């Protein structure tokens, strides 16, 4: 089941065979789990809410949480796909050291990957902007359900990578405060307009600069938070392989560039490295 010309396929296998590779994954990694991406061929354009909007306006928070309440109900039913499982297998057999993911869905951990660095946080957690308490998103969902009976059943829209659902009727939705201090609750993810915490960035940079190679899977590298790792690897003379459907902002830095989906490419890689097949 070749997914690329044989020279690229073998070049990817040779890079990963060095062991000690670090991977950077994006939304394209989770499309086979039914979670649409932002910029792939089938993506529907969306305007993401910024942190500044969220923090400044109760109306904006009402809109965000109403859409996210509906989206998360569908989002949380997603299971790891064959690509997630294959990547976890590569870690188990020592070919991949760490997974850095731009995704917030937690599917790498569900598939058995470890360690995983959630660059943009986890949608399964909620944080209070006032007291900093981190709590369960599942619990917040139950509070939303109690405060908004029948709201969820009205909609059947698909959830975006951040669990946003495409609904417009949000004026009647009741948000919920922090139970500890009454403060504003925010998903424990990096919203547009926020920065990834500096210690996390530095940790990821150390991982990349110590790696034998950087493998980018399913990311357009459109945002700087991912692209910088490719630039760091290139500057350090670390080979870069990129697997993605569609052009990426990091293509000029790629030593190996494969235009394909993650699941099928990783399945072939498992075969080429003679790893026992993923069930």
Q: Is 131 annotated as a binding residue?
A: yes
Assess whether 108 carries a catalytic annotation.
no
Interatomic CA distance for residues 244 and 76, integer angstroms: 24
Q: Which of 108, 120, 203, 222 is catalytic?
A: 120
Interatomic CA distance for residues 102 and 251, integer angstroms: 18
Interatomic CA distance for residues 178 and 171, integer angstroms: 21
CB 143 within 8 A of CB 190: no
Quick one: tokens of 218? 């399913």
Burial 184-198 (b: 16+ CB within 10 A, else e): bbbbbbbbeebebee
Tell me: cis bond preceding 115? Omega within 30 of 0 counts. yes
Interatomic CA distance for residues 195 and 116, integer angstroms: 19
Q: Is 181 annotated as a binding residue?
A: yes
Which active-site residues does the annotation give? 120
- Binding region for Zn(2+): 128, 131, 178, 181
- Binding region: 128, 131, 178, 181
């Amino acid at each position: 089941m070749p997914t690329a010309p044989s020279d690229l396929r073998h070049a990817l296998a040779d890079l990963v065979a060095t062991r000690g590779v670090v991977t950077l994954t994006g939304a394209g990694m989770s499309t086979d789990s039914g979670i649409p991406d932002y910029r792939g061929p089938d993506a529907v354009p969306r305007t993401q809410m910024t942190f500044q909007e969220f923090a400044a306006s109760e109306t904006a928070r009402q809109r965000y949480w109403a859409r996210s309440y509906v989206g998360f109900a569908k989002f949380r039913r997603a299971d790891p796909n064959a690509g997630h499982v294959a990547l976890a297998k590569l870690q188990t057999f020592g070919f991949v050291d760490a997974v850095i993911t731009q995704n917030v869905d937690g599917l790498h951990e569900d598939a058995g990957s470890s360690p995983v660095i959630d660059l943009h946080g986890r949608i399964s957690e909620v944080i209070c902007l006032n007291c900093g308490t981190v709590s369960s998103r599942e619990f917040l969902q139950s509070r939303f359900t109690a405060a908004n009976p029948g709201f969820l059943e009205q909609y059947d829209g698909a959830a975006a990578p951040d669990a946003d659902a495409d609904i417009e009727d949000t004026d009647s939705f009741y948000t919920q405060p922090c139970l500890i201090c009454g403060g504003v609750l925010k998903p424990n993810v990096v919203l547009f307009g926020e920065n990834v915490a500096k210690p996390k960035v530095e940790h990821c940079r150390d991982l990349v600069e110590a790696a034998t190679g950087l493998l980018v899977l399913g990311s357009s590298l459109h945002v700087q938070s991912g692209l910088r790792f490719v630039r760091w690897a290139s500057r350090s003379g670390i080979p870069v392989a990129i697997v993605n459907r569609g052009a990426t902002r990091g293509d000029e830095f790629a030593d190996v560039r494969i235009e394909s989906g993650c699941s099928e490419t990783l399945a072939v890689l498992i075969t080429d490295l003679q790893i026992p097949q993923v069930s």
